[in-house]
Amino acid sequence: MSGQSEVLRLHGPLTIKTIANVRDIIQVYLQEAALRSRSLVIDIDGSEEIDLTLPQLLLSARQTASGAGVTVALNKPADGNFLTVLQRAGLLCGDRQKDSFWLEGKAA
């Protein structure tokens, strides 16, 4: 990676009703990041309406990105509704290394 990043800001409801559109947007950004040898940084507003489909999509996007040589990171640690969804879904295990994607943001 060149040290530069593509930045994707996700806002508005991030729920099952909108996740197909979010998936399409992430796919475009991943393709751009791969073409430009950049990482992808995703900025999520934790105050938005969020459900489990968002973390599921992000896990899938990370897997896809890894295969294309692209690193995906969050712009900041999960907070607000996003953090609540992660906790309720059991996606935080208390292991700093495993939770770093969600809780450390871009600095991880």
CA distance 92 to 24: 26
Query: What is the phi/psi pair of residue 78, to 5°?
Result: -60, 140
The confidence score (pLDDT) of residue 105 equals 78
Determine, yes or no, domain membership for 108.
no
Structure tokens belonging to residue 76: 């900041």
Residues 3-15: tens digit of each pLDDT: 689 999 999 999 9
Range of the domain at 43: 5-103
Determine, yes or no, domain membership for 59.
yes
Residues paired with residue 8 on neighbouring β-strands, in sequence order: 42
Determine, yes or no, domain membership for 92.
yes
Query: What is the phi/psi pair of residue 41, to 5°?
Result: -110, 125
Determine, yes or no, domain membership for 52.
yes
CATH code for the domain of 74: 3.30.750.24
The confidence score (pLDDT) of residue 107 equals 40
Determine, yes or no, domain membership for 35.
yes
Determine, yes or no, domain membership for 93.
yes
| Number of domains making up the chain | 1
Residues 27-48: tens digit of each pLDDT: 999 999 999 999 999 999 989 9
Determine, yes or no, domain membership for 26.
yes
Residues 60-98: tens digit of each pLDDT: 999 999 999 999 999 999 999 999 999 999 999 999 888
The confidence score (pLDDT) of residue 97 equals 87
